[in-house]
Amino acid sequence: MSRILAPITSCPIEFTTDQSEHSHPIILVAENDESFASEDPVAASWAKTNHFTGKSGAILVVPDNDGTASRAYLGAGDGSDAFITGNLFKQLPEGEWYFANLPENPLNLFLGLGLGSYKFSRYLQTEGDKKLKFTLPENIDRSELKRLVETTFFVRDLINTPTNDMQPDTIEEAIRQLGRTYGANVTSIWGDDLLKQNFPMVHAVGRAGSVAPRIIDLRWGEVNRPKVTLVGKGVAFDSGGLDIKSANGMLLMKKDMGGAANVMGLARLIMDAKLPVQLRLIVPAVENSISGNAFRPGDVLKSRKGLTVEIGNTDAEGRLILADALAFGDEDKPDYLFDMATLTGAARVALGPDVPPFYCNNGDLGREISTLSLNIQDPLWQLPLWKPYQKKLSSRIADLNNVTTDGFAGSITAALFLQKFVDQAVNWAHFDIYGWTPAEKPAFPIGGEAQGIRTLYTFLKGL
């Protein structure tokens, strides 16, 4: 391996179950609820001076007579934002804290608290050393909270790392490191061996890169358990290939391996929690680059499944490598086959960066995923696999084209393309994620993001 993985960013908040006498309270306040300070004239005066009204995410730290913090108030707004705690780490002074009042299911408040403390500092000369300690209530599982926070940091770190330090071989090393940590078996097929072992589209897309393309395959768990196979798009950088992107279009293309990062995060959650499943993780890892041997518009590629694909655009490369990987995973007849990819700009136009669309071949499964995602505030929105649009992918010289000619329904037609390579999985779902937070929000700093994996993890816990 030519690059070295950086350690996972650690959470600077310590969560404890033992509340000390030095711990300060944080009180949640609904917007325009003035009763919180009715028995506390100091707090009432301080709130008026600082224009604190309980607006969602607003923080008011009340000092003692000696000027040190005695307590804090956190605006809960109308109560609809479960991640309002995301700004606490930045605004609270160091020390020990606890929540004096909490909703019935407070997990997301503590999750938001942890996620808001994230800072990607790998390339910064100075790092903050601020530390906070928070007391957890009895109904919060500290191990589960730690698992969710650390895994999100893991996904963010992978996506935030620029391509010079996150190439296909580094993605493989990250998966191998997961395997070593959790006792999983990891194998890979790379370079020209992809042709010998029938991954022609992975090879075609990645052969122009300076680091050889590869298929990485992790297996974990006991046989005779439900088979769960995860597939993630691992494009370390996407120049667009010969149909080259603009300069602006390439600026965020280090995140084009966000699908791989997210399924790696989901695999980490599954293995860390020791869920009773037979897990398989498949990542096709490539760089879509430009060289004399790059695949071309108009080429016809043979796929692992045997279908031939005419290349209408080399910038629609993600679906090509996913097609080979999905066919590979489908051969094993998994009970559940989930793939994630930063696949189309059309998905962002339709639903924006915060709500990834997904597609499912099983109506009951799709409804369950939708309901779960809204309940735990990890939003996903199901769009239809609209069969009449399949004809948009037709080709006069091959079984199908990798793009349409009119550009309409781009996310749907990409999902329909992928569905052509899934025959045997009764339960298949495709997630067209963005993997990035473009505007700062409490708990969600600008940069790489985990999307949908809490929902799928919650679903798999219920099997």
- Phi, psi for 427 (deg, rounded to 5): -120, 105
Which amino acid is present at 418?
A: L
How large is the greatest C-alpha to C-alpha distance in the chain, in angstroms?
A: 81
Q: Is 245 part of the annotated catalytic residue set?
A: yes
333 is catalytic: no
Burial of 206 (0-12, 13-18, 19+ CB in 10 A): buried
Question: Which residue is catalytic, options 55, 119, 245, 302?
Answer: 245
Query: How many CB atoms are located within 10 Å of the residue 90 CB?
Result: 14
Tell me how long the chain is.
463
Neighbour tally for 119: CB within 10 Å: 16
What is the rounded distance in angstroms from the CA atom of residue 337 to the CA atom of residue 457? 13
Q: In this structure, are strands 447-448 and 436-437 parallel, antiparallel, or unpaired?
A: antiparallel
Catalytic residue from among 156, 319, 348, 454: 319
Please report which helix (H) or strand (E) contains residue 152, including its range: helix 142-160
The residues, ordered by sequence, that sit 6+ positions from 249 with a Cβ below 8 Å of its Cβ are 240
CA–CA separation, 13 and 89 (whole Å): 8
Positions marked catalytic: 245, 319
